Chain A
């Protein structure tokens, strides 16, 4: 595996979990939500949310790529990304499922 694959693969796994953590934080904390809504240039929580997650992916990807050693860590990066994707998606679905059913 190339350095960029390892670096951006790890960064993708972390960014996916950050995405879910940010959902929990902003939906549970009015203060966090207010800051995200007030942040320029979009002044919209979802737009800022996307930019934050993408920045985490790009910045960590560059950071990890410079420190990765090519030819190692072949298979576990696939497992890591798959596990983080499933956990991240379940975290979002279960959170909003719980919120929505609670308001029915």
Chain B
């Protein structure tokens, strides 16, 4: 169960990134015919990021203390002191921007409103760039746990 929970939030995060890239491409080609797809992409992005928050938050609050102790005792404490701290707080920026996307899409006709299109493209780009950085930080944190365990095993 713990392993399943651990996998859940990066999977939701990756699906959120894919949805946001999908939204970006649909918005580049915004016209009357793809208005529904733009909405589905925007709402998917927001819902997957909210799911990432809930799943990741539950795992972090319930299980992360063990990993944190391993990282801090190991040879790469920056995995927690910098990467985890920046990741867990930077995520709220991504979450807010992802929730903004369906509000903008619902409130404007992207096919005819160039300013709203530019706003959607900019926010979508900020979401997937920040989410990629967060996924990368997650990999560094996992590496911090691994080298901590290897170091403990070597002793």
Contact = CB atoms under 8 A, between A and B. Distances in A.
A54 B96 contact: yes
Nearest to B50: A54
Contacts of A15: 96
Interface stretch (B20-28, B33-41, B108-116, B141-149): B108-116
Interface residues of B, number: 34
Given A1-B113, A78-B122, A92 B86 contact: yes
Given A50-B57, A81-B122, A89-B130, A96 B107 contact: no
A81 B93 contact: no
Contacts of B88: 46
Size band of the interface chain A makes with B: 35 or more
Nearest to B58: A47
Interface of B: 53, 57, 60-61, 77-78, 81-82, 85-86, 88-90, 92-93, 95-97, 99-100, 103-104, 106-108, 113, 115-116, 118-119, 122-123, 126, 130
21 contacts: A1-B107, A2-B116, A4-B103, A8-B100, A9-B100, A16-B92, A19-B92, A19-B96, A46-B88, A49-B92, A53-B92, A54-B96, A74-B115, A78-B115, A81-B97, A81-B119, A82-B122, A96-B85, A99-B85, A100-B78, A100-B82
